[in-house]
Structure 1
Amino acid sequence: MATFLLQRTVPLPLDEAWRRLTEWPRHGDVVPFTRIRVLTPGPTREGTRFVARTGLGPLGFDDPMDVTLWEPPGDTAPGRCRLEKRGRVMTGWAEIEVRPGPGGRTRAVWHEEVRVRFVPGALDGVVRLAGRYLFGRAMNRLLRTP
């Protein structure tokens, strides 16, 4: 399994950073060749399910995920959610956290452990680098765009 950790400090209130990072369809706007379909009625909570479909035309794969922890932030209390990846191609988990940062800013953290089936463990370093790049760009774009 490849594990990576991304952290950003942004000039946003906790609740706004949380909203930007946890509106699942927005992820499809920032991850190339991906669209998100939420399978359960809103609002998001523990038990929410969604699928990220990545690919071009008929060539692609589904990445189904379940929200297993949902703790939205309070005025100054951190927020955290955990996603379990349950697909045939991608397995693992991701945690998204927002907490008070320096100078009234928000510290956003994305921690992920991913296993790509059919990719040998010897290539975990490549998967880690690709994940840091792809999700780092996605995190940056999500936090920049209202």
Structure 2
Amino acid sequence: MWDALWDLEIHSRVIPFTTVTLVPTEVGHESGLQEGSRFDARTHLGPLTIDDVMRVDRWDPPAEARIVKVGRVFGGTITVRLSDVDGGSRLDWHQTYSVHGLPDIVAWLAVPLVRAGYVRTLSRIIGSQEPAG
């Protein structure tokens, strides 16, 4: 499951209108994600393009990762923990977010929509790794 969670091509396939790519830096561009590498979720909505640039702050596969949103539009963190449970896996995903230039109350009001979007996306990512029946 860990590999699927961090496969940027899978993210690009399952997140509508969005392409997720590594940002060329001296860290992690050739070998995939690791501490210090950056990636961008670029969303196109008609003529509008929004970049959600993130940096890998902690990388301890296959147990834990911490991602920090460092772009001009979005702030926040994503902390992911994966653990073995009764022959399966448990995924703990904790996220905070903000939109630069908007009051926190606006982000707070969007929590149900954002949460639903992440649940749907994570379900599709995890489902993409299940063997075909």
TM-score by length of 1: 0.78
Pick 1 or 2: higher relative contact order, CA cutoff 8 A, min separation 6: 1
CA contact (8 A) 2:97 2:107 kept: no
Runs of 5+ unmatched residues, structure 1: 1-16, 74-78
Paired position in structure 2 for 1:87: 71
Alignment of 1:91-102 (within 5 A): 91-101=75-85
The alignment's C-alpha RMSD in Å is: 1.4
1:143 aligns with 2:126: yes
Q: Distance in 1 between matches of 2:59 and 2:72?
A: 24
**Mapping of 1:47-66 within 5 angstroms?**
47-66=36-55
Q: Does 1:44 align with 2:33?
A: yes
DSSP 3-state at the match of 2:102: coil
Query: Which residue of structure 2 lines up, in the alignment, with residue 10 of structure 1?
Result: none
Name 2:4's counterpart in structure 1: 20
Partners of 1:119 and 1:81 in 2: CA distance: 27
The alignment partner of 1:45 has SS state of: coil
Q: CA deviation at 1:57?
A: 4.4
Match of 2:92 in 1: 109
Aligned with 1:69 (options 52, 58, 72): 58
Q: What residue number does 2:26 align with? A: none
Distance in 2, matches of 1:72 and 1:23, equals 13
CA distance in 2, matches of 1:122, 1:44: 33
Look up the SS of the partner of 1:46 in the other structure: coil
Identity between Structure 1 and Structure 2 (%): 32
- Please list every run of at least 4 consecutive aligned residues from structure 1 whose deviation after the TM superposition is greater than 4 angstroms: none
* TM-score (norm: length of structure 2): 0.85
Amino acid in the other structure paired with 1:38: L
Is the CA contact (8 Å cut-off) linking 2:57 and 2:68 kept in structure 1? yes
The residue aligned with 1:31 is 15
SS of residue matched to 1:88:
coil
CA displacement, residues 14-48 of structure 1 (integer Å, 9 cap, x when unaligned): xxx10111112321211111111112222321011
For residue 113 of structure 1, what is the amino acid of its counterpart?
T
